[in-house]
Amino acid sequence: MFCTKTTYTDGRFTGVWYPNDPAELKTHRELASSWSSIVPSFPVSNIHVCPSIERAFEEIERIGSLDCVKKVLVTGHPALVGGMIEVAGLVPVVL
């Protein structure tokens, strides 16, 4: 899953605003392509490029079944990690 630092699909954000570079999705698509070439056995259907953290979270929800426990590793910019905590509703647990 490759996504921007934009928290919500409608462009809203939490915390400090980090504007997305218009070319950022292009960069994320290139990263996804690189991942695919580095790990060719990884199914391409499981590689996603999302314009927001909210959209990535929705994709994670769609992929998982209702009775499974989802384990998600979020790496990258602190705004990305904080945004995922926000979107997942984990702020009360983390703070």
User: For residues 17 and 14, what is the distance between their CA atoms, to the nearest angstrom?
Assistant: 7
Which pLDDT score is estimated for 65?
62
Nearest to 17 by CA among 26, 8, 30: 8
Which pLDDT score is estimated for 69?
64
Low-confidence ranges of the chain (pLDDT < 50): 16-17
Residue 90 domain boundaries: 2-94
Q: How many domains does the chain have?
A: 1
Q: 50-71 pLDDT, tens per residue?
A: 988 999 988 888 877 655 666 7
Q: What are phi and psi of 56, to 5 degrees?
A: -65, -40
Q: Coil, strand or helix: which one is 33?
A: helix
Residues with Cβ < 8 Å from 30, sequence gap 6 or more?
Answer: none
Q: Coil, strand or helix: which one is 48?
A: coil
Chain centroid to Cα 26, Å, comes to 15
User: For residues 65 and 69, what is the distance between their CA atoms, to the nearest angstrom?
Assistant: 8
